[in-house]
Amino acid sequence: MQLKSAALDQIAQFICGDNPLPFPYRSSSKLTTFFTGLGLDYIHRGETRNAWTRDAVIDINSKASKDGAFSSEQMTAVIEEVMNPAYFEVGDSEKINYDAALVQMNRTLKQYKLEVVVDATSGLAKLRSVDGHFVSTAHSTPETVKKLTFAPKVFEIPLSTDIQHDLVAIMMPFGAAFTRTHDAIKQACTAANLRSKRADDIWANSTIIQDIVDLIFVAEIVVVDFTGKNPNVMYETGVAHTLGKHVVPITQSIEHVPFDLQSHRVLQYHPNQEGLTKLTSELTTRLLTIKRGHSWQG
């Protein structure tokens, strides 16, 4: 099911947040950050803010299913991000009226038998049908998880299963050519109030693969650089995916990304100063988005 034009107009206005709406105002750069932070490639390049935002929302809506229940993952993510409570706390002296914004959003969604509610556990906004069935897919956690039991022979599973939620594991080629890239990634982690480690930061086991597995195992997020089709990075990415980590891929060339993963959003960067600065900015946004989707955010 797709939303109609009037609803799209209102959602676009909510995203822009112009007065007197009870939504946070977004400048041109913040509009870009809003969409790219959700993994959506909409870059504002100076067009009229409201018209550009409406065009972006229309494009996202066009990808929704035309039949049956509301099923657009991208539109769901947009609606939930608009109502993310974190945006409404501007500062200690100024707080936007979240309840009033919620009323307006739900009034817009009512004809589609949808509503946004705030999850009591995580404090996050979730989209659901009025019968109470959640349609949110952006940051969902299944109530029942099937446990995967395996016994690898090349490395051992760490005895400690405590996840360090503020830790980012960095998997990338070594060498002087990647020193500045490593620095850019570390700066993004710091900006997102996260710690970062690479395999050469630790030496706890007799084999490097065990150190790498231990690092991936305890980290919440894994940043992987596919530049150069490094086989070690490919192997480590497979381990991270198997362990259910949030994998954030980056690369200097999209051709270096394995074909099976090219459908996922990849941060592409140039290894010059401008490109690395942009990488730090975009990676920071992605890390913050992951944090906002979980109750462990700092």
Read off the CATH number of the domain in which 256 is found.
3.40.50.10490
* Angstrom distance (rounded) from CA 268 to CA 255: 11
Q: Is 28 exposed, middle or buried (0-12, 13-18, 19+ CB in 10 A)?
A: middle
Q: Give the model's pLDDT for residue 144.
A: 45
Higher pLDDT, 201 or 249: 249
Whether residue 20 is preceded by a cis peptide bond, meaning omega within 30 degrees of 0, is yes
Task: Characterize the bridge pairing of strands 114-118 and 125-129.
Answer: antiparallel
Same domain, yes or no: 96 and 182: no
- Please name the residues in contact with 143: beta carbons below 8 A apart, sequence gap of 6 or more: none
> Last residue of some domain: 78, 105, 129?
129
Dig out the tokens for 30 from the structure.
Answer: 């913040």
114-173: pLDDT as tens digits: 999 987 777 788 898 887 666 654 444 444 445 555 666 666 777 666 788 899 999 999
**In degrees, to the nearest 5, what angle opens at C-alpha 267 toward C-alphas 263 and 269?**
135
Distance CA 12, CA 143 (A): 33
Single out the residue in 75, 109, 129 at which a domain terminates: 129
User: Does 98 fall in a domain?
Assistant: yes
Q: For residues 186 and 121, state if they share a domain.
A: no
Establish if 158 belongs to a structural domain.
no
* Rounded distance between C-alpha atoms, residue 63 and residue 151, angstroms: 41
Domain that residue 46 falls in: 5-129
Contact (CB, 8 A) for 82 and 11: yes
Q: Given 107, 129, 151, which residue is the final one in a domain?
A: 129
| 137 belongs to a structural domain | no
Nearest to 271 by CA among 190, 179, 192: 179
Q: Find all residues with CB under 8 Å of 226, minimum gap 6, and list them.
A: 233, 234, 237, 249, 250, 251, 256, 257, 258, 266
User: What digits encode the pLDDT tens for the residues 48-81?
Assistant: 999 999 999 999 988 765 545 555 788 999 999 9
In a domain, 213, yes or no: yes
pLDDT at 266: 87
> How many distinct structural domains can be found in the chain?
2
Domain assignment present for 176: yes
Answer yes or no: pTM beyond 0.75. no
Ranges assigned E (strand) in 209-260? 219-225, 246-251
Minimum mean pLDDT among 71-75, 88-92, 236-240, 279-283: which range?
88-92
- Residue 172 and residue 288 in one domain: yes
